[in-house]
Each structure stands twice: as structure tokens, then as C-alpha cells.
Amino acid sequence: MLEKLIVMAVLGSLVIRFATGQWPWVLWLARDTRKAEKHARVLLGVAPGAPREAIIDAHRRLLTQVHPDRGGTNDAVFEANAARDLLLERLGAGNRAVR
């Protein structure tokens, strides 16, 4: 019975690989990445395709609200920084550097 389950899992993985061009676990990780990016955009309040300057400005506005000196927490600052870093990383190498 276990052998049948393993064979079915392997065959199912191969079917998904040939149908989509990617392994099922890669598709699963991509889904998680899209969720993280959406969460970052909602947290910073920026639209998809926002330029670098808009992301940086939104990050600064959020930090003024969640900074520990203003009653926020370190965790909120770390989350804001991670959101900014993720969105800037998505822009690509040419858009990350200060101009």
C-alpha cells in the first residue's frame, strides 16, 4: 500500500512537472513568496509596481508610527525593514541603489 502511494506521488510530481515546467514544490514555494510580497505591499501601503522612491517613502512613514521611541515595538520595526527589503529586492539590481 505504501509503495502505491509513493509511486502515485512520483507520477503526480512528474505530471505536474511536464504540465507546468516546474516541480510541485517550486510552485508551492513561489506561492509562499507571492504571499510574502503581498503582505509587504499591504504593510507599507504601496501598489504593485511601485517605484523605489515610493517604497522608501512608505517605509519611512511606517517607521515614524511603529518606532519604539514613539510607542512601537522592535518587532514592528524589523517587520517594516523586512517588507522594504523584500520589495526592493523584487525591483532588481538596477533599482535598488541610490541614484
The DSSP line for 21-59 is SS-HHHHHHHHHHHHHHHHHHHHHT--TT--HHHHHHHH
Output 78 or 34, whichever has higher pLDDT: 78
Instruction: Please tell me which residue, 98 or 87, carries the higher pLDDT value.
Output: 87
Q: What is the pLDDT of residue 33?
A: 82
Q: What is the mean pLDDT of residues 48-62?
A: 94
Which residue would you say has higher pLDDT here, 28 or 5? Answer: 5
Residue whose C-alpha cell reads 517607521 in the numeric block:
63
- Which range of residues forms the domain containing residue 84? 2-96
Task: Check residue 31 and give its pLDDT.
Answer: 79
Q: What pLDDT score does 99 carry?
A: 44
The CATH number for 24's domain is 1.10.287.110
Output the pTM of the full model.
0.66
Amino acid identity of 36?
A
pLDDT at 49: 87
How many structural domains is the chain composed of? 1
Question: What's at 54, amino acid-wise?
Answer: A
- Asked if residue 91 has pLDDT above 70, the reply is yes
Query: Looking at the predicted structure, is the pLDDT value of residue 51 above 50?
Result: yes
> Could you count the other beta carbons within 10 Å of the beta carbon of residue 68?
11
In the block, cell 532588481 appears at: 92
